[in-house]
Structure 1
Amino acid sequence: MAISVETFFLSPDNQGTLQAQIQQMIAEGILSGRFRKGEKLPSSRRLASHLGVSRITVTLAYTELLANDYLTSRGRSGYFVSNNAPVPPSFTPPQKGEETVDWTRAIGRRFTGGNMMNKPHDWASYRYPFVYGQTDPSLFDHSNWRLCALQALGQKDFSALTADYYDQDDPRLVEFIARNTLPRRGIIARPEEILITLGAQNALWIAAQILLTQRRVAAIEDPCYYALREILEQSRCHVTPVPVDRDGLRPDAIPDESDVIFTTPSHQCPTTATMPMARRHALLERARDIDALIVEDDYEFEMSFLDAPSPALKSLDTDGRVIYVGSFSKSLFPGLRLGYLVGSESFIREARALRASVLRHPPGHIQRTAAYFLSLGHYDALIRRIREALKQRRAVMQTAIDAHGLRVSGKGVFGGSSFWMQAPDGSNTDDIATQLRAQSVLIEPGHHFFHGPDQPTNFYRLGYSSIPATRIPDGVARIAEAFRS
């Protein structure tokens, strides 16, 4: 029996080359059982004409499937589903009846229902995406990242790609962080004091699991990174919000009973405030007085394009009480999910054991690719390019904000990639954000960042890392008009 050519179609939403899409289409048909052993595929000429692609594209797809034993060729008769093709499940799934499990009682702990921000996955389709933390494809170094990925796939790096490190990490990546990344922040650390994580959020979760119990108290900034608050509330520790001002976290407001202090001194999240040196020393002194540990999330220090960044809090620590969190997810791309923890060897030993019990280690191929991208100088070149672009976009946005009389509540002293904005009292930025979406404008309401039930509704964040400078003035004008009306 021949498979009808009408069965095949290309979706405009599909990813990858045309050849890869055709291969996937046929493989999925076989794996799902729609295409059966011995059935004949349409000729390459007919399928190419039907799909509107070149005949060689179809031929190459057929050839690849032939090599993988999905298809077989019978001389001049054409291509058929191979007898050795993967076999789909032969059983008939039972009819699904009504569930008898009472999940309201069966679930011991709940992780849903938190105050997390919901970012649209199709943000790139908006004309004015003032979203934070996404990658601008016009700035990213695709070609060199691809070359580094291919190099990591080579025979020389076979063990890095395939080996189970168990609780260890790629030594090349750890060495680069120890010898290049951390010294730029004034930090000296041995490999035994560094752990690779799946981004900064994973690093914060590991730190919370190790340092906090139901009897311990965590002091957090208010407002703060909403995902950190969720992590701490899930750990069942006591959470104490500490207000921030134009210089970040206030050491004098930290309660005496605090066991762990979480802070973002380089660019306070979300206000972008940068903690001055005097306050950094005061924070260390306060932590020493109450015998508390500090978890420093040093995100976005690379985006300091107005002036050199201040030394990390960890570099000023002489007691070993600061645990440092770094990440490549913001500076490279968020989907990379690659970060690192730096702390005393005793802490990292426990963090390594905890990570191994959950996910072993981040994929070896990702670690080795990142190691090549960093060590070959591509990362530094990328950061320079991003800094220049952000500097230009920030200037354009500042001019547009001033022209339309919008109020800036916080902007990074040394740079960054966003403005923390404050709307007039009584405004609801959730409602405004919904209205603006209809005009292809994305802003981020700010209430998610605040602690407690009485969250202010008149704050919002405008990121400029994902929007071209030429579109910023028109986008800001639409935002201003939405607040006026």
Structure 2
Amino acid sequence: MGISVDTFFLNPQAQGTLQAQIQQMIAEGILSGRFHVGEKLPSSRKLAAHLGVSRITVTLAYTELLANDYLTSRGRSGYYVSDNAPVPPRYTPLRRGAETVDWDRAIARRFTLGDWLDKPADWRDHRYPFIYGQTDPTLFDHANWRRCAVRALGQKDFASLTADYLDRDDPLLIEFIARHTLPRRGIHARPEEILITLGAQNALWLTSRVLLDRSRKAAIEDPCYYALRELLVQSRCRLAPVPVDGDGLPPEAVPGDTDVIFTTPSHQSPTTATMPRARRQALLDRAEEIDAMIVEDDYEFELSFLGAPSPALKSIDRDGRVIYVGSFSKSLFPGLRLGYLVGSEPFIREARALRSMVLRHPPGHIQRTAAYFLSLGHYDAQIRRMSATLLQRRQALEAAIAAHGLTIAGRGVYGGSSLWMRAPEGVDTADLARRLQDRGVLIERGAPFFAGPERPGNFYRLGYSSIPTERIAPGIEHIARAIDESA
């Protein structure tokens, strides 16, 4: 029996080449059980005419499916579903009754109680996305990333693609970080002092698990990155939120019984304050005085388009007290999920062992692709391109804010990709964000960044990494109008 040509249609919203779409269409038909073993497919000429594509496109799709044993060719008769094609599972679904599990009792620890920011999955569909931490596809070097990915798939790199690294990392990526990235921050480290992580958040999690337990105290900035605070709450250590000022974390306010200090000195999250050199030294002196470790999250140093950033806190650390966290999420793209930890060898040894128990290592192919992209100069070219665009957007944003009388509560000295804003007293930015979203404007409410029950509700964050320059002024006008309505 032949499969009707009317069974096939192309989805105009589908991704990939026409050949890939046709292959997927046929493979899904076989895997779902709609197409059976021995059934004949339409001729390439008939299917091409039906779909409105070239005959060679259909022929190439059939040839690829033939090579993968989904189809078989019978001389001049045509293509048929192969006897060796994957067979869909045959089973009778179990009839389920009402669940009797008491999940309140069964769940030992809860991870859903924190106040997290919700970033809409359809943020690209909003006309004015002042959303932080997302990537503008017009600024990303798709072509060279694709070339690096293809190169990493080659026979020469077969081991990096398929091998289990156990607890090790890609040596090319480690070498680039050690010889290129870290020296730009004034940091010198041996390969044994570097660990690749699944982004900065994974690095912070590993650090908290190695350095903290119930008996120890962690000092965090207030406000701070909300995911870090929730992560430390789950570690069950004692928390000491320390209010930041215009220069970041004040060292003298760190409690004397602190074991670990978490800080973002180059670009405080979320206020964007930059810690001066003198205060950095004072923080190191304070940590030495109370015998505390420091975890430095340097998440956005690459986006310093207003001037060269200050050397990292780690660069002036003389006794191995600072653990450095870096990430490629902001400078490449957040979905990459590649970051790194830099610290003394005994610490990295324990973090490596913990990582190997949880996820072994980040995927080898991703590490090798990133290593090629970095080492071939594509990364530096992308940073220069991003910096020029972000500078234009920052200037347009500040001009629009000034024109509408809005208040900037914090701006990065060297650049960055966001501004920390303060609305008038009495304006609830959670409600403001909801109303603006209906008008196609996305902002981030500020309350989740603060600790404690009495959190100010009138702060918000404006990211400008993903919004085109020409839409910034109209978007700010919407925000100003909505704030006036609230006030």
**TM-score band, normalised by the shorter chain?**
over 0.9
Cα shift at 1:113: 2.2
Alignment match, 2:428? 428
How far did residue 200 of structure 1 move?
0.3
SS across alignment from 1:205: helix
In the alignment, the residues of structure 2 paired with residue 229 and residue 10 of structure 1 have an alpha-carbon distance, to the nearest angstrom, of 47
- Offset of 1:461 from its aligned partner? 0.7
Q: Secondary structure at the match of 1:138?
A: helix
CA distance in structure 2 between the partners assigned to 1:15 and 1:123 by the alignment: 19
1:460 maps onto 2:460 in alignment: yes
CA distance in 2, matches of 1:16, 1:441: 30
In structure 2, the partner of 1:239 is 239
Q: 1:326 Cα deviation (Å)?
A: 0.3
Mapped pair 1:145 → 2:145: yes
- State the partner residue of 2:176: 176
Distance in 2, matches of 1:6 and 1:435, equals 46
Question: Which segments of 5 or more consecutive residues in structure 2 lack a partner in the other structure?
Answer: none
- Report the secondary structure of 2:116's partner residue: coil
1:315 Cα deviation from its structure 2 partner: 0.6
Question: Tell me, what secondary structure is at the counterpart of 1:311?
Answer: coil
Match of 1:296 in 2: 296
Q: Distance in 1 between matches of 2:54 and 2:475?
A: 41
The secondary structure found in structure 2 opposite 1:249 is coil
Deviations 1:35-82, CA, capped at 9 Å, x for gaps: 211122233334334434333322222221111011112233332211
Give 1:445's aligned residue: 445
SS of 1:76's partner is coil
Structure 2 CA distance for aligned equivalents of residues 289 and 119 of structure 1: 41
Look up the match of 2:93: 93
CA shift for structure 1 position 456: 1.6
The one-letter code of the counterpart of 2:281 is H
Q: Partner of 2:359 in structure 1?
A: 359
Cα offset, 1:427, TM superposition:
0.9
Task: Letter of the 2:80 partner, please give it.
Answer: F
DSSP-derived class of the 2:138 partner: coil
| Number of corresponding residues | 485
Bigger Cα displacement from structure 2, 108-117 vs 166-175: 108-117
Give the superposition deviation at 1:91.
1.8
> Using the alignment, how far apart are the partners of 1:24 and 1:47 within structure 2?
15
Match of 2:345 in 1: 345
Supply the distance in 1 between the matched residues of 2:136 and 2:249 (Cα, whole angstroms).
31
- 1:430 Cα deviation (Å)? 1.6
Q: 1:230 deviation in Å? A: 1.4
> How much does 1:314 deviate?
0.5
Q: CA deviation at 1:208?
A: 0.5
* Counterpart code for 2:238: H
In the alignment, the residues of structure 1 paired with residue 128 and residue 158 of structure 2 have an alpha-carbon distance, to the nearest angstrom, of: 43
Distance of 1:29 and 1:457 partners within structure 2: 52
Instruction: Quote the Cα distance in structure 2 between the aligned partners of 1:330 and 1:73.
Output: 49
Deviation at 1:414, TM superposition (A): 0.8
Structure 1 gap segments, 5+ residues each: none
CA–CA separation in structure 1 for the residues paired with 2:474 and 2:439? 11
Normalising by the residue count of structure 1, what TM-score does the alignment of the two structures yield?
Answer: 0.97
After TM superposition, the structure 1 = structure 2 runs for residues 304-453 of structure 1, keeping only pairs within 5 Å, are 304-453=304-453
CA distance in 2, matches of 1:316, 1:395: 33
CA distance in 1, matches of 2:48, 2:104: 53
Q: Structure 1: which amino acid aligns with 2:442?
A: L
Gap change, CA 1:87 and 1:268, over 3 Å in 2: same
Identity among equivalent positions (%) equals 74
Match of 1:197, as an amino acid?
T
> For residue 54 of structure 1, what is the aligned residue in structure 2?
54
Counterparts of 1:169-248 in structure 2 under 5 Å? 169-248=169-248
- C-alpha separation in 2, matches of 1:240 and 1:7: 63
Greater displacement, 303-312 / 146-155: 146-155
Alignment partners' CA distance in 1, 2:46 and 2:459 = 58
Separation of aligned partners in 2, 1:2 and 1:405: 70
2:470 aligns with 470
Farther-moved stretch of structure 1 (251-260 vs 98-107): 98-107
Determine the C-alpha separation between the residues in 2 that align with 1:189 and 1:379. 21
